[in-house]
Structures are given as C-alpha cells and as structure tokens.
C-alpha cells in the first residue's frame, strides 16, 4: 500500500481533490439550505418515502426474477413410476446442498464431476446392490439419452437466445480472441475520463462499483440456480435412463392398442386402428347396480340387468363415447365376491380407472373393504406402475329413509330434507368404511325413470381424474411396449446374425 502511494503524483492527487470538493460539498450545503428554510423534515420524509418505494420496487423485481427461475426449473415428471419418487428426493437433496463456491461454472471439469455425482445417486437408487451402478445401462439407451439432451439443448438455444441461428463457431472463437483487446480499450477509456472530467469519472466509478456489487450478488444467486438446475436436469435424465422405462423406438407407447385392448375393440365392433383406449373397470359385489351404472353412462340400455345374482358372467367391454373422452372402453364385471385372488389382480392390473359400485342401503361393507384393500396392496407392489384412481358410485340412494320420498335434486352442502341428510350420512359412512376420500364417493340413483347424479356429478368426477387415469394408462402401455421391444429386438438380432452366418462361407470364398 505504501509503495502504491509513493507512485502517485501528489500534485495530481491534489488536483483531483480540488475537482471533487465542489461536488462533495453539495450535500452538506444543501442540508444547511433546507434547514435554513425550515423544510428539512420535508426532505427527510421524501427521502424515507422514496427509499421505501425504491426498496419495495427492488424487492418486487427480485421476487419476479425468482419466480421466473422457479418456473424454469426442472420438475419431476408426473408420468414417472412410483419407484422414481425416491430417486428424485435424492436429486433434490443434492441440489439443495450445492454451494456455488465449490463448483466454479467457468471450469467444465467440476461441472462434469457434479453431473457424475448426480448420476451415481440415481443409479445407486435403482441398483442398490451393485458395486458400480453407473455401468448398469445399455449402450443404446445411453446414446438415446445423449440424443435427447442435445435435442433439448438445440431447442433452448434456438428459442431463447436471439440470433443464435446465425451464430457460428468461428464467430465465437473470434469474439473470444478479441476479449483482451476490448478489456484494454475499456481501461484506456476509463483513464481518459479521469483526465478530461475527474468529477464525472468519480461519480461513474462509484456507480460502477455499486452496480458491480449488486450484480455480484445477482450472479451468485444465478450461479446457485444454474448449478441446482444442472443437478435436477441430469437427475431427470438419469431417472429416465436407469428406471427402465425408456423405449428405443420413437413411437408413443399409447399410439396403438395393446394386444388385449385390440381384441376388446374388435369385440365392440370397433376397428383397432386408433390409439390405446382408456380402460374403465366397473367393480363391486353382485347386484349392486354395476350394469345399471354402465347403462346410465350410455344413456340407453346396453347391458342386460336382472335381479338374480351373477347376471354378468365374464368381463365384457363396451366402447364408451362421451364429450371430454377421446377413446375409452368400459368393462362390466361379475361380482368381485366370486373372484379368486389371481383373477382380481389380473383385471385390476389392466384398469386405468376403477368405478366401484356400492349399495347405500347395505351395511355389510366389510367384504368391499377387504377386496379393495387387496387391490390397493397389489397396486402398491408394482413400483413401475401408478395405481388407477378409484371412484365409488354409491347406488340405490332412493332406498334410504324416508323410503317413499324422492324429490331430487338434493343439496348435500346444506341438507334441508331428511332424505338429503340420509344421503350425506351414507356418503360419510361409506368413505370411512372403504377408506376412500369423501370427494370420491358420488351418490347416484340408477333405477329406471329415476336416474340421478350420473350425467353431471359422476361424469364430472370422472373427468377430474382423467389426468391420473391417463398416467396409469401410459405406464401400463410402457410395460407392454417394453416387453414387445425386447422380443422384437432379439428376433431381429438373431435373424440378422443367422443371415450373416449363412453368407459367411461365400464371403470367405470370395476373399480367396
């Protein structure tokens, strides 16, 4: 510091001070003038108001920028199977632990190490007993992830960075070579300002230092976001890669029907040339109104109904066409109380949504709860699939007390009649008995001439759960496509290997 002061020309330093004194004297002289006029308090009040307004604006701008960053960050894919939830927790935990000072963004090697650490966490979650879980992936799937990552990067560059479609690699290299020259020119310009107008140069330097300090804080925040986003993005690709759900083909899993759905579409006299239908399964004990519910959804008689038990002998598909639903099959089933465990699991595994029908006037619901619990346990065992949403259609509400009263509609939010109170009480009890949310229990009447709450409330509830059902359908189709792809690749590879071996003698003779 002493050597630096010795190098400074004291006369030039004195000249600089003389230039700066009038500017620096403005503040105390202005305060003295305001005090003499007796309006210092007005200035102080204005200072407080403007400072508060500036702080508030800065705070709002900071929140807006954070909202932009939060909106742009990578989120977990709702279409992932349940097994991916634990992997994403590990990714988020690593992202929150990232310290920008430990991972300089200007150096590619630390960033590669951070990406590798992320992949190791994901791979270790999916392959916990393997010594080197990173290597537990196939070469084609690794290439597919690289292909998708570069595709996303290309879209980001072309959509978000102006003139990036005109930017060449040569331009980037030339701009980088000119950077030292530009820095030197900027230094000469700033030195010239001190000679020509020292007072303005002083104010400019102070403003530059203030902006630099503010931008440093912003840069630290941006660095942290970039590193966290790197972890999340790599983690998301890692989950795609190690979860085993990636298909090598570009065809969407739901683009064509699965073999079982194709057979069911043909059974309904529908050409299986559309995509995979949504499979809605109507379940319940015998004689609770399953077939009547399907008829009510169609608005006409499609399914035979009878008072005798076990009218429906087998799983029967029907093509359901309603507004808000592209293509769907709804299945009438025999009473679940007559199904064995294997059949119950088989029909449940093919369902994207379950409509469980339960009679409101029957109190023996322990069997319903037992079968539902068995279904839920079977769904919980499949970590590669999502459980289908379950809706309970509470049928035969017209048989609740008072039995002779039937004057719909009934307002369950503010039940005024005894019938409405009975319906509300039945909904609450059934929700508890079957361990189903109250919002998922829809009271309906399916008696001929008394159809109630099907076209409006029940159908609205079905549409509200359509996204969850579509995710279940996607994962179901991915399992089928994965098996098809594996067998198809094996057949093609064996066929190509056989043709190569057959042609090998001729190639050997040709070389001789």
pLDDT in tens, 221-266: 777 888 888 889 889 988 988 887 788 888 889 999 999 999 999 9
Secondary structure (3-state) at 341: helix
- Which of these, 383, 143, 111, lies nearest to 241 by C-alpha position? 143
At residue 186, the pLDDT reads: 67
Question: Which has the higher per-residue pLDDT, 91 or 271?
Answer: 91
CA distance 294 to 303: 7
Cα pseudo-dihedral 431, 437, 439, 444, rounded to 10:
-30
Residue 84's pLDDT is 94
**pLDDT per position as a tens digit, 28-80:** 787 788 888 888 888 888 888 988 888 788 778 767 766 766 777 789 999 99
End-to-end CA distance of the chain: 85
pLDDT at position 330 over 60: yes
Architecture category of domain 259-476 in CATH: 3-Layer(aba) Sandwich (3.40)
Secondary structure (DSSP) of 416-466: -SHHHHHHHHHHHHHHHHHT--GGGEEE-B-STT--BSIIIIIHHHHHHTH
266-292: b (≥16 Cβ within 10 Å) or e = eeeebebeebbbbbbbbbbbebbbbbb
Q: What is the DSSP string of 85-149?
A: HHHHHHHHHHHHH--GGGS-TT-HHHHHHHHHHHHHHHHHHHSTT-SSGGG-S-HHHHHHHHHHH
Range of lowest pLDDT (111-125, 204-218, 443-457): 204-218
Average pLDDT over residues 177-204: 62
Of 338, 336, 327, 326, whose CA–CA distance to 390 is shortest?
A: 336
pLDDT at 348 over 90: yes
**pLDDT for the residue 27:** 75
Sequence ranges of the domains in the chain: 78-246, 259-476
What residues contact residue 16 under an 8 Å CB cut-off, 6+ apart?
194, 198, 202
Distance CA 384, CA 82 (A): 6
Q: Which two tokens stand for residue 488?
A: 């198809």
Task: State yes or no: pLDDT of 411 exceeds 90.
Answer: yes
**What's the CA gap between 430 and 490, in Å, rounded?**
51
Mean pLDDT calculated for residue range 309-325? 76
């Amino acid at each position: 510091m002493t050597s630096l002061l010795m190098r400074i020309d004291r006369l030039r330093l004195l000249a600089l001070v003389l230039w700066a004194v009038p500017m620096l004297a403005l503040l105390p002289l202005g305060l003295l003038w305001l005090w003499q006029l007796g309006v210092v308090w007005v200035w102080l009040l204005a200072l407080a108001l403007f400072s508060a307004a500036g702080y508030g604006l800065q705070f709002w701008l900071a929140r807006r920028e954070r909202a932009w960053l939060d909106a742009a960050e990578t989120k977990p894919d709702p279409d992932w199977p349940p097994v991916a939830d634990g992997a994403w927790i590990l990714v988020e935990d690593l992202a929150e632990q990232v310290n920008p000072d430990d991972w300089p963004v200007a150096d590619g090697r630390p960033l590669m190490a951070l990406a590798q650490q992320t992949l190791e966490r994901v791979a270790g979650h999916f392959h916990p007993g393997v010594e080197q879980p990173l290597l537990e992936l196939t070469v084609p799937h690794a290439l597919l992830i690289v292909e998708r990552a570069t595709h996303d990067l290309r879209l980001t560059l072309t959509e978000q960075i102006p003139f990036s479609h005109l930017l060449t690699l040569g331009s980037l290299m030339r701009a980088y070579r000119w950077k030292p020259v530009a820095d030197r020119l900027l230094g000469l310009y700033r030195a010239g300002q001190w000679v020509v107008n020292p007072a303005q140069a002083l104010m400019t330097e102070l403003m530059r230092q203030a902006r630099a300090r503010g931008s440093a804080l912003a840069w630290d925040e941006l660095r942290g976001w970039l590193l966290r986003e790197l972890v999340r993005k790599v983690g998301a690709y890692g989950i795609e890669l190690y979860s085993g759900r990636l298909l090598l083909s570009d065809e969407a899993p739901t683009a064509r029907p699965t073999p079982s759905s194709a057979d069911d579409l043909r059974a309904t006299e529908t050409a299986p040339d559309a995509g995979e239908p949504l499979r809605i399964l109507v379940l319940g004990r015998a004689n609770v109104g399953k077939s009547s519910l399907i008829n009510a959804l169609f608005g006409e008689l499609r399914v035979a109904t009878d008072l005798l038990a076990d009218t429906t002998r087998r799983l029967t598909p029907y093509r359901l066409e309603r507004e808000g639903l592209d293509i769907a099959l709804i299945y009438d089933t025999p009473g679940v109380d007559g199904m064995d465990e294997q059949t119950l699991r088989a029909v449940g595994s093919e369902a994207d949504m379950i409509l469980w029908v339960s009679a409101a006037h029957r109190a023996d619901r322990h069997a319903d709860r037992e079968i539902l619990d068995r279904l839920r346990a079977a769904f919980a065992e499949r970590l590669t699939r999502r459980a289908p949403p379950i809706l309970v259609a509470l049928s035969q509400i017209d048989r609740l007390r008072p039995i002779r009263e039937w004057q719909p509609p009934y307002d369950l939010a503010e039940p005024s009649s005894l019938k409405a109170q009975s319906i509300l009480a039945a909904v609450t009890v059934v929700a508890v008995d079957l361990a189903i949310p109250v919002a998922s229990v829809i009271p309906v009447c399916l008696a001929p001439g008394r159809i109630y709450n099907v076209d409006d409330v029940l159908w609205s509830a079905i549409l509200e759960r359509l996204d969850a059902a579509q995710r279940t359908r996607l994962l179901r189709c991915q399992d089928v496509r994965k098996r098809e792809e594996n067998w198809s690749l094996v057949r093609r590879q064996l066929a190509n290997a056989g043709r190569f071996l057959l042609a090998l003698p001729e190639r050997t003779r040709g070389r001789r």
